[in-house]
Amino acid sequence: MFLLRKPILALSGNTAVRDALTSTSLTASVVDRFIAGETTADAVAAVSRLRPDGLQVSLDHLGEDTTDRATADATVEAYLQLIEALAAAGQVAGAELSVKLSAVGQALIASPDLPAGGNAYALAGARRITDAAYAAGARVNLDMEDHTTVDQTLEVLFELRRAHPDVGVAIQAMLLRTPKDLAELTGPGSRVRLVKGAYHEPAEVAYTDPAQIDLAYVRAMKLLMHGKGYPMIASHDPRLVAIADRLAADAGRSPDRWEHQMLYGIRPDEQRRLVAAGKQVRVYVPYGSDWYGYFTRRLAERPANLLFFLRSLTSK
Ligand code: FAD
């Protein structure tokens, strides 16, 4: 399956395939498995279903690689609307919002009427979301995208942390630079979501062998568990889930000082098993209509996801 990862991930940027798939309803039931729905109300309904089972949430308004300001602004507005809707439903406290900076303007090109460039635009949008989230009792975590965006994303993170010191960030174990980045991210209160990394990266900057990525993940977990921050172990991998538990115990971390994270629709029974075992678990809940990039990354990760998708195509 790892051989298929590269071509599938390449499809995530293919607009012809995206248009063909998203213009038909054939994918709807498949997409539903991984995505909470298209609207704010769908997202709030998913939160209301997950929370009674003891699961925490991180909500992602789907979208990425935005190249125009109107779409970036609409994404910011969507998050503000979500915060209000969560508050109205009594679900905002303790919720987290996951933000992709490329969705709020990071990829915009500097121009005479945008002299500071896309990252400054993304910072301004992320700041509006973050201020509103913290005012309402929620938190924010920055997703991490491909390796070319890491410096800019960390720059935005440190700016946001001036006002809200526990804004979190995703860090990708597969990147060779990660141990150096973690050295700056394990201070008191620093929330770090550790992931394997979902993008196709060149060997110059990343481990490409799955076994090496797993080893790098364990090394990064050790740094986080022994650090002073708040580790968020985002993986469905049973071995890594078990190792996280052992490392937390070795580091003397009680279950309230770190958490597991998993994606909506992936290993839901395991999510509930961990809660029953006294662990904190946060589910990443994506919603919105721009699901294509997110969906193709999930297909690339696991043969069963791809088979499930192919079977649904042939049964139509
Ligand atoms: P995988 O390598 O996908 O799977 C390992 C093993 O886990 C499998 O062999 C199988 O035994 C088990 N497993 C996996 N899926 C299933 C399943 N459906 N049913 C049963 N067993 C299963 N990536 C980024 O690059 N940036 C981000 O900001 C980001 N945020 C994320 C947030 C969260 C909460 C999570 C969970 C992931 C995020 N990712 C992000 C994606 C991440 O980088 C990985 O691509 C993704 O999690 C797959 O890696 P894995 O560790 O779950 O294990």
pLDDT of residue 27: 57
Does 67 reside within a domain?
A: yes
Q: Does the annotation place 81 within a ligand binding site?
A: no
Q: Which residues contact 116 (CB under 8 A, 6 or more apart)?
A: 110
pLDDT of residue 26: 46
pLDDT of residue 7: 65
Q: Which residues of the chain have pLDDT under 50?
A: 1, 26, 316
Q: With contact defined as beta carbons under 8 Å apart, do 285 and 43 qualify?
A: yes
Q: With contact defined as beta carbons under 8 Å apart, do 96 and 44 qualify?
A: no
Backbone angles phi, psi at 138, to 5 degrees: -105, 180
Does 113 reside within a domain?
A: yes
pLDDT of residue 316: 44
CA gap 53, 55 in Å, rounded: 6
pLDDT of residue 249: 97
Backbone angles phi, psi at 287, to 5 degrees: -150, 160
**Annotation marks residue 161 as catalytic:** no
Q: With contact defined as beta carbons under 8 Å apart, do 224 and 186 qualify?
A: yes
pLDDT of residue 211: 97
Does 157 reside within a domain?
A: yes
Going from the Cα of 298 to the center of ligand 1, the distance in angstroms, rounded, reads 8
Closest atom of ligand 1 to 213 CA is: 2
Q: With contact defined as beta carbons under 8 Å apart, do 159 and 129 qualify?
A: no
Closest atom of ligand 1 to 237 CA is: 7
Instruction: State pLDDT tens for residues 268-311.
Output: 999 999 999 999 999 999 999 888 888 888 877 776 777 766 66
Does 264 reside within a domain?
A: yes
Q: The domain spanning residue 247 has which CATH number? A: 3.20.20.220
Going from the Cα of 73 to the center of ligand 1, the distance in angstroms, rounded, reads 30
Does 10 reside within a domain?
A: no
Does 130 reside within a domain?
A: yes
**Whether ipTM exceeds 0.95:** yes
Residue-range definition of the domain harbouring residue 118: 36-290
pLDDT of residue 2: 54
Does 153 reside within a domain?
A: yes
pLDDT of residue 19: 62
| Antiparallel, parallel or unpaired: β 96-99 and 259-263 | unpaired
Going from the Cα of 176 to the center of ligand 1, the distance in angstroms, rounded, reads 19
CA gap 285, 47 in Å, rounded: 8
pLDDT of residue 293: 82
| Antiparallel, parallel or unpaired: β 168-172 and 259-263 | unpaired
CA gap 173, 216 in Å, rounded: 6
Question: Number of structural domains, the chain?
Answer: 1
Q: Which of 5, 18, 127, 143 is catalytic?
A: 143
Does 316 reside within a domain?
A: no
| Buried/exposed code over 249-285 (b: 16+ C-beta within 10 A; e: otherwise) | eebebeeeebbbbbbbbbeeeebeebbeeebbbbbbb
Which pTM was predicted? 0.92
Q: Please list every protein residue whose CB sits less than 6 Å from any atom of ligand 1.
A: 143-144, 170, 172, 193, 195-199, 234-238, 261-263, 266-267, 284, 301-302
CA gap 143, 171 in Å, rounded: 8
Can you list the pairs that 299-306 forms with residues at least 24 positions away whose Cβ atoms lie under 8 Å? 299/8, 300/4, 300/5, 300/8, 300/9, 300/12, 300/198, 301/5, 301/198, 302/1, 303/1, 303/4, 306/1, 306/4, 306/8
pLDDT of residue 290: 87
**Annotation marks residue 193 as catalytic:** yes
